[in-house]
Amino acid sequence: MPHIEIKCYPGRSEEQKTLCAEKVALAAAEALGCKLSSVSVAIKEVEQADWKAQVWDKQIAADDACLYKKPEYTCK
C-alpha cells in the first residue's frame, strides 16, 4: 500500500523514470503517512497513437469521479 502506476509516452531515459518513481514514492509516503518501503511505482509507456484508446477512454474518462488531479487537456 499504495501502488502507483504512471503512464506516459515513450522517450524518457531509465534515469528519468527512476528519479520520477523515487520522487513520487517519497511524496506519496509523506502525504499518505505510510512507510516509503510500502510504496511501489510502475511506469508504463504508451504510444501517442494509442493514448486515447488505452489511457484516456479506459482510465481517465472512465474514472473521472476518482481523479483527485484531473488533466487540463481533453482527448476527443
For this structure, is 71 an active site residue?
Answer: no
Q: Which of 1, 2, 67, 68 is catalytic?
A: 2
Residues 35-68, buried b or exposed e (16+ Cβ, 10 A)? eeeebebebeebeeeebeeebbeeebeeeeeeee
Phi, psi of 61 (to 5 degrees): -65, -40
- Quote the cell numbers at residue 18: 527512476
Residues known to be catalytic: 2
